[in-house]
Amino acid sequence: MRGSWQKQFAESPGVLKSAERAQTTVQVLNLEIGGGEFITMAGPCSVETEFQLMATANHVRRCGARLLRGGAFKPRSSPYSFQGHGVDGLKMLARARKESGLAIVTEVMSECDVPVVAEFADVLQIGTRNMENYALLEAAALSGRPILLKRGMMATVADLLRSAQVILDHGNPNVILCERGIRTFETATRNTFDVAAIPLLKHVSHLPVIADPSHAAGYRELVPALARIAVVAGADGLLVEVHPNPDKAWSDGEQSLDFADFEEMMTSLDPYIALREPTTKDDPVTNSLEAVG
């Protein structure tokens, strides 16, 4: 059955599962993404102030997050919106890593910025607007840092895998795919969460897959439910926006969880994550599922 998928995604042979490569695990400091542990990356959309970032880092760490996300360079739709602190934001992220022990994931927007972002970040995020920016993909790959590759807002799964293939072709096998919702005719949410893409990617690709329920929803009330759906769908982790006071956030406050809501969400995920724990081959439910699969 997998042969038909191999044909559909034939332009991206390096990212497809094979007998030699069933699953890639991406090492980030002392973490393994894709290795069985469910990994949550959490933090503010934008790095605003030292206090905001440190408070968020310490809180999300206490709640179980393993990476701190935060934007130092921000691709904004409006030129009048906050564009990020740039290098000063990166320095704040580095100080937050030192204090909290969390690894850092942040977006890089230009191939010219790759060296400086790679100096401070543990994972380079390629945002949705840059998924097919091949000059940026090549430069990010050559940095040697793990790459978090977000699906473009109008990209197919095949498009996403082709971009991942570009990174692998430039010598970097450490790619994490991110489903963050796509643009459709639906306007009630910010994007349409393509939950089916998660099990599809897990079925055809050896690369880890995470979900971004914040950008998929666009509204904080929906983020916990989409996060639980992502867990059940088989995602290896989450990317979630968290802010001390979302109503005062400089960007994306409407989709950011406050501290109490993030803690509640993380607690709500526990029973769903527990269901994913590997079972023995003697378990009849596991055997029946494998037989159907």
**DSSP β-ladder status, 67-69 and 237-241:** unpaired
18 domain-assigned: no
- CB distance 253 to 247 below 8 Å: yes
Query: Is residue 103 predicted with pLDDT exceeding 80?
Result: yes
Percentage of the residues of the chain whose pLDDT score is greater than 90 = 84
pTM of the model: 0.91
The CATH number of whichever domain residue 186 belongs to comes to 3.20.20.70
Q: Is residue 12 part of a domain?
A: no
Q: Is position 53 within any domain?
A: yes
Specify if 20 maps to a domain. Answer: no
Average pLDDT, the chain: 91
C-alpha 241/C-alpha 44 separation (Å) is 5
Residue 288, domain member (yes or no): no
Query: What's the pLDDT at 197?
Result: 98
| Count of beta carbons in the 10 Å neighbourhood of residue 219 | 12
DSSP labels, 194-220: -TTHHHHHHHHBSS-EEE-HHHHHSSG
The tokens of 109 are what? 């927007």
Full residue range of the structural domain in which residue 105 is found = 38-276
State the total domains in the chain.
Answer: 1
| Confidence label for 285 from pLDDT (cuts 50, 70 and 90) | very low
Alpha carbons 70 and 54: distance in angstroms, whole number? 11
Asked whether residue 11 is assigned to any structural domain, the reply reads no
- 211 found inside a domain: yes
**In the chain, count of helices (H) and strands (E)?**
11, 10
Maximum pairwise Cα distance, the chain: 60
Going by pLDDT thresholds of 50, 70 and 90, the confidence category of residue 77 is: low
Q: Is 33 part of any domain?
A: no
